[in-house]
């Protein structure tokens, strides 16, 4: 039974999101899969709380994709976009062409006319910008090599939608449906005037963004009304989307271009803050609408055909993308990330298949089946990402590399395992003070870079007993563990304690969980990544608030002593969650009381006698 009225529909969609997404996140499935499951649950093939109006919601929710590309454009300064031109045109163009030809070849093999096969291949070559970017952002992988390459390919795909819309009517194998009409009033113009209109629209966005929008935002900002700035931000995105639609261009392309133009604007961060909540909500609505659009009745009627189509689409795109990763010399792990993120069909395929069916390019029955295939492939993507994150990536990280370990021809008093940001600072400090260290690292690219910088680093895994022997562990005094993956440290600690008991182990920990594991393994000297930096920032914050330098330093020292004692005490309770939380709460209270008591007991004369830094600053101010 379908509900009546806007408020009931809003209640259904929001309730589905609020219930499903936290559960999916808690299970490690990610928010995108949570939204898709929510849509499938409330859709016509689930609880039937929404029906045919789901397509209207889909059109409305697609505006979330438009907003997302506007925000992406704000992050891309023109100089950075220019640097990406190679991956965009090279990898993006090659991916689209290769995938279209492969999928079109499959269509030909199945007996489709070459025009339909080529159109289907070109449409299915597109991937979901919304799912890919949202999933990469959630996992913090947008800045990785695979994330950057994925973005470049997606950007080219979005740009290619425009010429694809122009190409589809030329491939018609049947008369267009009576309802078919070209998008935008410019489509009825002759080619030359139409090109002029399209270029004029793009120029209007670029010139308006540079010379009109910034002064307008400056005037709005002077009013001091936050809600007016929010309204102006939404107006900007909607106006550009409307302009692009009217002239037959992609609204996503237009808003992306506007974002790039405004990337250097002083209002960039304000625009991001105002648009972000609407973008997130509409993207969630879009994913729910996709989940609700999955035609489970077609799947049930022809399960083998639908499943085969979904698997064929995903596997063929995976194969093409992996091959492209090898062509462009990407590391295997990053090639896999690229392939998994882009293996699905995209949101533009819904529009393109509808347009192709209306223009007689693709049979309407085939189009409906392929739309269901694309929707299912989109639902499959979060699961593929989960497989990559939980299984494939750890396997690749743990798998033995083909390169042999280096022959180690020197020994020192210290062995450093891992020479990243943490280990290299310690190593350079030791070297500057005449202490010789033998350095091991398992990242071949880092080893080569450090050698070019003149540093002596050996390629090898410190968990291998033979390499520790070769590095002189039997005669060394210290072993510093600064591994990029601290979870491997207890394994190295166990080997060192068993075979080289004279070694004192100093170990890096990324947080309390790693610290507990190391302390439990018997390591006495544990250093958490952010503790010292955080305390330095806290000392500076207290100083800027008027606390004297001695007082701020003393508070930081008291905090460090209390926190390190607390970590050691909590290590014994780490497997008893209730007792751990009780003791942690008590430790927080104890720390606050200790620091408060210290503040109340401070000896001001002693502070003034010690605090040379404050005296120098005050003297300097008096001189001025």
Residue range 248-260, pLDDT digits in tens: 776 767 787 788 7
- The CATH number assigned to the domain holding 376 equals 1.20.1530.20
Given 397, 429, 451, the domain boundary residue is 397
**Mean per-residue pLDDT of the chain:** 78
Say whether both 421 and 541 belong to one domain. Answer: no
Indicate left, alpha or beta for 588 from its phi (over 0: left) and psi (-120 to 50: alpha).
alpha
Place of tokens 């899969």: 33
pLDDT at 83: 67
pLDDT at 37: 83
pLDDT at 397: 57
**pTM over cut 0.75:** no
d(CA 356, CA 361): 5
Q: Which of 333-342, 344-353, 370-379 has the highest mean pLDDT?
A: 333-342
Lowest mean pLDDT among 50-54, 445-449, 582-586: 50-54
- Who contacts 77 (Cβ-Cβ below 8 Å, separation ≥6)? 260, 263, 264
d(CA 547, CA 15): 49
Domain residues for the domain of 596 are: 532-611
The average pLDDT across 83-101 equals: 84
- The CATH number assigned to the domain holding 425 equals 3.40.50.720
Task: Answer with the residue of higher pLDDT: 612 or 39.
Answer: 39
pLDDT at 1: 43
Q: Is the pLDDT of residue 13 over 80?
A: yes
Say whether both 146 and 292 belong to one domain. Answer: yes
Give the residue among 27, 83, 64, 623 at the shortest CA–CA distance from 347: 64
Say whether both 135 and 175 belong to one domain. Answer: yes
Say whether both 142 and 168 belong to one domain. Answer: yes
pLDDT at 599: 66
What single DSSP character describes residue 404?
Answer: P
Q: What is the CA radius of gyration of the chain?
A: 30
pLDDT at 401: 47
pLDDT at 3: 45
Beta bridge partners, 459, equal 441
Q: Does 120 map to a domain?
A: yes
Q: Where are the beta strands (DSSP E) in 35-80?
A: none
Q: Does 266 map to a domain?
A: yes
Say whether both 439 and 508 belong to one domain. Answer: yes
Task: Answer with the residue of higher pLDDT: 93 or 463.
Answer: 93
Inter-residue contact 121 to 103 (CB < 8 Å): yes
pLDDT tens digit sequence for 319-344: 999 999 888 888 788 888 899 999 98
d(CA 130, CA 111): 33
Given 374, 397, 420, the domain boundary residue is 397
Q: Does 428 map to a domain?
A: yes
SS3 414: strand
Q: Is the pLDDT of residue 400 over 50?
A: no
pLDDT band at 419 (very low <50, low <70, confident <90, very high): confident
d(CA 285, CA 57): 8
pLDDT tens digit sequence for 174-221: 555 544 444 556 656 666 777 777 788 888 888 888 788 878 888 888
d(CA 334, CA 325): 8
Say whether both 448 and 341 belong to one domain. Answer: no
In the numeric block, which tokens belong to residue 598? 């210290």
Q: Is the pLDDT of residue 409 over 70?
A: no
Q: Does 324 map to a domain?
A: yes
Task: Answer with the residue of higher pLDDT: 441 or 595.
Answer: 441
pLDDT at 258: 81
Percent of the chain surpassing pLDDT 70? 82
pLDDT band at 62 (very low <50, low <70, confident <90, very high): low
In the numeric block, which tokens belong to residue 111? 């007996």
d(CA 64, CA 617): 52
Q: Does 306 map to a domain?
A: yes
Lowest mean pLDDT among 72-81, 316-325, 564-573: 72-81
- Who contacts 206 (Cβ-Cβ below 8 Å, separation ≥6)? 257, 261
Burial of residue 374 (CB within 10 Å: 0-12, 13-18, 19+) is: buried
pLDDT tens digit sequence for 477-535: 899 988 877 777 888 888 888 888 888 999 888 888 888 888 888 888 888 887 888 88
Say whether both 465 and 363 belong to one domain. Answer: no
The average pLDDT across 261-274 equals: 77
First to last CA, the chain: 79
Say whether both 350 and 431 belong to one domain. Answer: no
Q: Is the pLDDT of residue 356 over 70?
A: yes
Task: Answer with the residue of higher pLDDT: 240 or 460.
Answer: 240
Say whether both 417 and 508 belong to one domain. Answer: yes
Say whether both 127 and 68 belong to one domain. Answer: yes
Place of tokens 């995105």: 237
pLDDT at 179: 45
Lowest mean pLDDT among 400-414, 452-466, 585-599: 400-414
Q: Does 168 map to a domain?
A: yes
The average pLDDT across 436-440 equals: 84
Q: Does 620 map to a domain?
A: no
The average pLDDT across 142-171 equals: 79
Q: From edge to edge, which strands make up the β-sheet containing 458-459?
A: 458-459, 437-441, 414-417, 478-481, 504-509, 525-528
Percent of the chain surpassing pLDDT 90? 7
Q: Which of 98-112, 271-285, 602-616 has the highest mean pLDDT?
A: 98-112
| Tally of domains within the chain | 3
Lowest mean pLDDT among 20-29, 271-280, 612-621: 612-621
pLDDT band at 4 (very low <50, low <70, confident <90, very high): low
Q: Does 606 map to a domain?
A: yes
Say whether both 458 and 576 belong to one domain. Answer: no
Lowest mean pLDDT among 73-77, 318-322, 432-436: 73-77
Given 496, 529, 562, the domain boundary residue is 529
Say whether both 440 and 554 belong to one domain. Answer: no
């Amino acid at each position: 039974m379908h509900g009546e009225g806007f408020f009931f529909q809003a209640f259904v969609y929001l309730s589905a999101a609020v219930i499903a997404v936290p559960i999916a996140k808690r299970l490690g499935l990610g928010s995108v899969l949570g939204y898709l499951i929510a849509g499938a649950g409330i859709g016509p093939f689930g609880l039937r709380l929404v029906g045919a109006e789901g397509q209207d919601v889909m059109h409305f929710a697609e505006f979330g994709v438009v907003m997302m590309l506007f925000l992406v454009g704000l992050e891309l300064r023109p100089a950075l976009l220019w640097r990406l031109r190679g991956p965009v045109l090279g990898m993006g163009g090659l991916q689209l062409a290769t995938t279209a030809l492969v999928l079109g070849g499959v269509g030909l093999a199945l007996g489709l006319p070459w025009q339909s096969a080529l159109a289907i291949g070109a449409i299915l070559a597109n991937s979901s910008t919304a799912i890919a970017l949202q999933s990469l952002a959630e996992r913090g992988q947008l800045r990785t090599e695979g994330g950057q390459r994925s973005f470049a390919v997606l950007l080219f795909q979005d740009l290619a939608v425009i010429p694809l819309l122009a190409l589809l009517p030329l491939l018609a194998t049947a008369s267009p449906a009576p309802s078919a009409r070209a998008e935008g009033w410019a489509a009825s113009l002759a080619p030359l005037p139409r090109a002029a209109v399209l270029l004029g629209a793009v120029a209007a966005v670029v010139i308006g963004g540079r010379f009109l929008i910034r002064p307008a935002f400056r005037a709005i900002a002077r009013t001091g009304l936050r809600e007016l700035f929010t309204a102006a931000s939404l107006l900007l995105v909607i106006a550009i989307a409307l302009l692009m639609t009217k002239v037959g261009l992609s609204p996503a392309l237009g808003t992306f271009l506007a974002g790039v133009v405004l990337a250097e604007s002083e209002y960039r961060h304000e625009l991001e803050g105002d648009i972000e909540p609407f973008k997130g909500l509409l993207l969630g609505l879009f994913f729910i609408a996709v989940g609700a659009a999955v035609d489970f009745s077609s799947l049930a009627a022809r399960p083998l055909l639908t499943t085969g189509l979904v698997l064929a689409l995903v596997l063929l795109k995976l194969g093409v993308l992996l091959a492209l990763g090898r062509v462009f010399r990407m590391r295997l792990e990053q090639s896999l990330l690229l392939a998994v993120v882009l293996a699905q069909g995209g949101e533009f395929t819904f529009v393109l298949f509808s347009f192709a069916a209306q223009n007689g390019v693709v049979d309407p029955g085939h189009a409906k089946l392929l739309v269901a295939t694309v929707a299912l492939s989109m639902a499959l993507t979060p699961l593929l990402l989960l497989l990559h994150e939980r299984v494939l990536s750890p396997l690749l990280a743990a798998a033995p590399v083909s390169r042999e370990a280096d022959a180690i021809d020197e020994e020192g008093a210290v062995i450093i395992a891992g020479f990243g940001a943490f280990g290299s600072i310690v190593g350079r400090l030791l070297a500057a003070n005449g202490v010789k260290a033998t350095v091991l690292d398992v990242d071949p690219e880092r080893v080569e870079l450090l050698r070019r910088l003149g540093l002596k680093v050996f390629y090898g895994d410190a968990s291998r007993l033979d390499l520790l022997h070769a590095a002189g562990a039997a005669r060394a005094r210290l072993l510093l563990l600064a591994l990029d993956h601290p979870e491997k440290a207890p394994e190295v600690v166990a080997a060192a304690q068993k075979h080289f008991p004279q070694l004192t182990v100093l170990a890096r920990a990324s947080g309390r969980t790693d610290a507990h594991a190391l302390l439990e393994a018997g390591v006495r000297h544990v250093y958490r990544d952010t503790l010292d930096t955080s305390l330095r920032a806290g000392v500076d914050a207290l100083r800027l608030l008027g606390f004297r330098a001695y007082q701020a330093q003393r508070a930081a020292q008291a905090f460090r002593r209390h926190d390190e004692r607390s970590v050691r005490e909590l290590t014994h309770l780490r497997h008893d969650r209730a007792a751990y939380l009780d003791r942690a709460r008590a430790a927080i209270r104890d720390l606050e009381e200790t620091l408060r008591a210290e503040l109340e007991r401070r000896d001001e004369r002693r502070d003034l006698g010690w605090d040379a830094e404050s005296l120098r600053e005050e003297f300097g101010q008096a001189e001025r």
